[in-house]
Amino acid sequence: MASRSLLSGLLGTTSRSLNNPVGASTTSVTQSSTSIDYDTVTTNMQVINFIEENYGSHSASKDYHNISSDVIVYNSMFNNIQNILNKITTPELVTIITAIKQLLTSSFNSLSLHKNTIVQNITISTLNNQIQEILNNKNRDVLLKQNTSGNLAITQSFTLAPVYNYYIAIYGMPLQGHGFNPLKISYISEILSSLDIDPFN
């Protein structure tokens, strides 16, 4: 489309967009919003680093016992990330911050799933012990009713506190010289207490 200059009366050869007849460039506006979004994200790096260090890294390394179960801290982090998302529009940054928000949520949920798994293992172990105790007592009654002769052997056994038994069942026997991990013992103790099982008796 040709346009006639009002000043010179000559025809111009510049074509103009129907959507934007003035011809103003949107590149500077896009660069400006991207710059503002980038600044928004970088000023909140403390929140992002906290999520990575206290949720993401523990979940990735399967150290679920190190993930905080404090709902107040989780809600605070979730709200901070959501506030960042509400302020930015650059698609690439929105994708990254959304991934961080999902990392936070999935890590917190993995803590609950891990606790539920331990609770199920404890329940199964308790039921197996009860079944074994019933079978042992049945076998004992049968042996006492029979007149048998033979050798007598005396053995001494000891019982670990429940928290240590479940530790070994869940995490395996600690390496020689390393002992039981106190954080994991505390984690299992908390779960046992929630099930009304005394962890140390």
Q: Is the pLDDT of residue 37 over 80?
A: yes
Structure tokens at 137: 């007592």
Query: Are residues 81 and 55 in contact, defined by beta-carbon separation less than 8 angstroms?
Result: no
The C-alpha atoms of residue 17 and residue 167 are separated, in whole angstroms, by: 71
Is pLDDT at 7 greater than 50 in this prediction?
no
Which pair of tokens denotes residue 71? 């709902």
Residue with tokens 């009713």: 145
pLDDT in tens, 81-125: 999 999 999 999 999 999 999 999 999 999 989 988 888 888 888
- Cβ neighbors of 23 (< 8 A, separation 6 or more) are 14, 16, 17
Residue 127 is predicted with a pLDDT of 80
Give tens-digit pLDDT for 132-150. Answer: 777 776 655 555 555 556 6
Specify the length of the chain in residues. Answer: 201
CA separation for the pair 128, 134 (Å, rounded):
10
Q: What is the largest CA-CA distance in the chain?
A: 129
pLDDT class of 176 with cuts at 50, 70, 90: confident
Burial (CB count within 10 angstroms: exposed 0-12, middle 13-18, buried 19+), residue 139:
exposed
Give, for 11, the enclosing helix (H) or strand (E).
strand 11-12
Q: How far apart are CA 193 and CA 170, in angstroms?
A: 17
Whole-prediction pTM: 0.61
Q: Which of 18-22, 84-88, 164-168 has the highest mean pLDDT?
A: 84-88
Band (pLDDT 50/70/90 cuts) for residue 45 is very high
Burial 102-121 (b: 16+ CB within 10 A, else e): ebbeebbebbeebbeebeee
What pLDDT shows up at residue 8? 46
Report residue 63 as tokens: 């150290």
